Amino acid sequence: MADRKVRVRFAPSPTGPLHIGGVRTALYNYLFARQHGGDLVLRIEDTDSSRFVPGAEDYILEAFRWLGIQFDEGVGVGGPHGPYRQSERRDVYKQYVRQLLDAGRAYVAFDTPEELNARREATPNFQYDARTRGSMRNSLTLGAQETERLVREGAQYVVRFKVEPGEEIHVDDMIRGDVKVLSDILDDKVLYKSADELPTYHLANIVDDHLMEITHVIRGEEWLPSAPLHVLLYHALGWAGTMPRFAHLPLLLKPDGKGKLSKRDGDRLGFPVFPLEWHDPKTGAVSSGYRESGYLPQAVVNFLALLGWNPGTDQELLSMDELIAQFDLAKCSKSGARFDYVKGLWFNREYLQHTPDAVLAPEFDRILRQNGIEAPMDRVEAVVGMMKMKKINFVRELWPLCDFFFIAPQTYDREDKFVRKNWKEGTAAEMTELAALLEGVADFSAEGLRAAVDPWCQEGGRKPWNAWRVCLVGTGKGPDMYELAAFLGRGETLERMRRAVAALG
Ligand code: GLU
């Protein structure tokens, strides 16, 4: 076991959009695989056809492409252990169902849903297990001949795992340690259904983990209750020697209050719980996604990585490479991680500031066009560069901060606080003087303007900045004045100054 190559898997069921908790699970698997030079497999667990949702698989692939999480093997990639969709592996599972039946570790049960419901109603807390299986309709009570006859005649049946009571089961969990469970509390889970000739999640999951040579099962805490059964299955199938180690990740908790994070929390507080926007194929309802809401994929990755783990220092901004180097599965917390979406906004703001202007510009260009503005991409990029440091969480927040780059102030509002404070007696004359100076500046770049205007200010003790801002912007916002004037160019700068002087006097 020690010298086996690390192989982990992400095994979503395509039952809808991938929840953000699932994204974190995949990310931790990815970090663990990369850090150990191992493989990450993408397996689609679609044996429950009643819960299948069209489009979900494509959505999953697209989400990871966007996030920069690559799979080494699996659906969409291929590899030597395929097929990687469980619905295409029917025949693989049958022989293991047979093996468990032959070894007496499983049995055939004919109880109909109606019969089971009747039992549940008659017996509070009814569980199909060692205490009750003797009074049900199964191969243990009916005998081999009768069972064979029923199967031959086409009766529907399921195969159940035969859990022996009185056994202490140990789950070796890298986060929670040695988790002990008494087998008496487990029920005889259904492993296979004749109706669709498919195994259930439990059997398919174990068989595939074994055949795909998975060494570590890293998954959400909600799967911890299934783990004792999985351990028993490994033993029953004779695979205990290569049983993967488990790591059950802490739950993601509501941003406020108690309980686990749900889609409703996102709707209530206004943040996405899915990586990409999701269009429900049945209802047509649209759920927001991180991508469409304007998050950068690196910010989402960094934010999620720190929900349940931290590097043990106060470093919060970690690139994917730093995460790979520093991530430590054993140091994940056992208790749930609060989903602090406000912190997610902070991460996005930080990443925006460190993202090249050219990468952000197309998104801002889209927003400009929505506002009826068409500008050459280098102009768009220049504005992003001047303004992205202004503590914005999203590129779209640039528009109200930046409209004046593209649209000259139409009116000058004397009641505006900034205008009132900075437009005084003598201001108009000073602006006219400044305009005359600008007319003669040869180099109208920010540096050229600085070289020409700074000495004029110093020699007269002048402070024209705020009034000049009133002229070019109309109010108290915007970047450095030299950068702004250079961006607007001589003609537009002088025109705006002339109009302000005329309007404000
Ligand atoms: N198919 C399960 C899911 O949807 C996989 C659980 C596991 O990783 O074992 O999450």
Reply yes or no on whether the pLDDT at 356 is more than 70: yes
Between CA 259 and CA 118 the distance in angstroms is 33
**Cβ atoms of 302 and 318 closer than 8 Å:** yes
Which residues have CB under 8 Å from 102's CB, separation 6+?
none
Distance 93 CA to ligand 1 centre (A): 17
pLDDT score recorded for residue 497: 97
Please indicate whether residue 205, judged by its CB atom, sits closer than 6 Å to ligand 1.
yes
Please indicate whether residue 11, judged by its CB atom, sits closer than 6 Å to ligand 1.
yes
Q: How far is CA 462 from the centre of its chain?
A: 53
Please indicate whether residue 310, judged by its CB atom, sits closer than 6 Å to ligand 1.
no
Neighbouring C-alpha atoms within 13 Å toward the C-beta of 367: 23
Q: What is the DSSP string of 79-148?
A: -TT---BGGG-HHHHHHHHHHHHHTTSEEEE---HHHHHHHHHHSTT---STTTGGGSSBHHHH-HHHHH
Distance 243 CA to ligand 1 centre (A): 17
Please indicate whether residue 147, judged by its CB atom, sits closer than 6 Å to ligand 1.
no
Pocket test for ligand 1, best of 7, 8, 10, 13 (most atoms within 8 A of CB): 13
Please indicate whether residue 137, judged by its CB atom, sits closer than 6 Å to ligand 1.
no
Between CA 156 and CA 109 the distance in angstroms is 9
Ligand 1 atom nearest 230 alpha carbon: 9
Between CA 120 and CA 105 the distance in angstroms is 25
| For range 313-317, the mean pLDDT | 96
Please indicate whether residue 189, judged by its CB atom, sits closer than 6 Å to ligand 1.
no
Reply yes or no on whether the pLDDT at 1 is more than 60: no
Buried b (16+ CB within 10 A) or exposed e, 217-240: bbbbbebbebbbbbbbbbebbebe
Which residue has tokens 């205008």?
A: 419
> Long-range contact list for 252-256, CB < 8 A, 24+ apart?
252/20, 252/21, 252/24, 252/307, 252/308, 252/336, 252/337, 252/339, 253/336, 253/337, 253/338, 253/339, 254/338, 254/339, 255/338, 255/339, 255/340, 255/341, 255/342
Integer angstrom CA distances of residue 238 from 151, 199, 277, 376, 405: 27, 19, 44, 67, 71
Query: Which residue CA neighbors atom 2 of ligand 1 most closely?
Result: 12
Mean pLDDT for the chain overall: 96
Query: Which residue CA neighbors atom 10 of ligand 1 most closely?
Result: 12
Please indicate whether residue 67, judged by its CB atom, sits closer than 6 Å to ligand 1.
no
Query: Which residue CA neighbors atom 6 of ligand 1 most closely?
Result: 11
Cis amide linkage into residue 83, ω under 30° from 0: yes
Q: Which residues are catalytic?
A: 263
Q: pLDDT of 260-287, one tens digit each? A: 999 999 999 999 999 999 999 999 999 9
Per-residue confidence band for 390, with pLDDT thresholds at 50, 70 and 90: confident
Q: pLDDT of 198-246, one tens digit each? A: 999 999 999 999 999 999 999 999 999 999 999 999 999 999 999 999 9
Ligand 1 atom nearest 218 alpha carbon: 8
Q: What is the DSSP string of 417-461?
A: HHHHHH--TTHHHHHHHHHHHHHT-S--SHHHHHHHHHHHHHHHT
Distance 205 CA to ligand 1 centre (A): 8
Between CA 188 and CA 213 the distance in angstroms is 26
Angle at 143 between CA 139 and CA 147, to 5 degrees: 55
Per-residue confidence band for 158, with pLDDT thresholds at 50, 70 and 90: very high
Please indicate whether residue 406, judged by its CB atom, sits closer than 6 Å to ligand 1.
no
Reply yes or no on whether the pLDDT at 422 is more than 70: yes
Q: pLDDT of 444-470, one tens digit each? A: 999 999 999 999 999 989 999 999 999
Between CA 124 and CA 458 the distance in angstroms is 89
DSSP state of 77: T
Q: What share of the chain is helix, strand, coil (3-state, %, to 5)?
A: 50, 10, 40
Pocket test for ligand 1, best of 205, 208, 217, 249 (most atoms within 8 A of CB): 205
Please indicate whether residue 223, judged by its CB atom, sits closer than 6 Å to ligand 1.
yes
**Residue 205: which of 409, 43, 387, 41 has the closest Cα?**
43
Distance 48 CA to ligand 1 centre (A): 12
Q: Which two tokens stand for residue 16?
A: 């809808």
Reply yes or no on whether the pLDDT at 505 is more than 90: no
Distance 105 CA to ligand 1 centre (A): 24
Distance 428 CA to ligand 1 centre (A): 71
For the beta carbon of residue 269, count every other beta carbon within 10 angstroms: 13
Ligand 1 atom nearest 12 alpha carbon: 4
pLDDT score recorded for residue 31: 98
Residue 350, Cβ density class (10 Å: 0-12 exposed, 13-18 middle, ≥19 buried): middle
Phi, psi of 285 (to 5 degrees): -65, 145
Query: Which residue CA neighbors atom 5 of ligand 1 most closely?
Result: 11
Distance 17 CA to ligand 1 centre (A): 14
For the beta carbon of residue 247, count every other beta carbon within 10 angstroms: 22
Please indicate whether residue 45, judged by its CB atom, sits closer than 6 Å to ligand 1.
yes
Distance 396 CA to ligand 1 centre (A): 36
| For range 385-412, the mean pLDDT | 92
Distance 495 CA to ligand 1 centre (A): 64
Give the total residue count for the chain.
505
Query: Which residue CA neighbors atom 3 of ligand 1 most closely?
Result: 12
pLDDT score recorded for residue 345: 97
Reply yes or no on whether the pLDDT at 190 is more than 70: yes
Reply yes or no on whether the pLDDT at 2 is more than 60: no
Please indicate whether residue 15, judged by its CB atom, sits closer than 6 Å to ligand 1.
no
**Cβ atoms of 398 and 367 closer than 8 Å:** yes
Pocket test for ligand 1, best of 59, 201, 234, 245 (most atoms within 8 A of CB): 201
Phi, psi of 110 (to 5 degrees): -110, 0
Which residue has tokens 């969409």?
A: 76
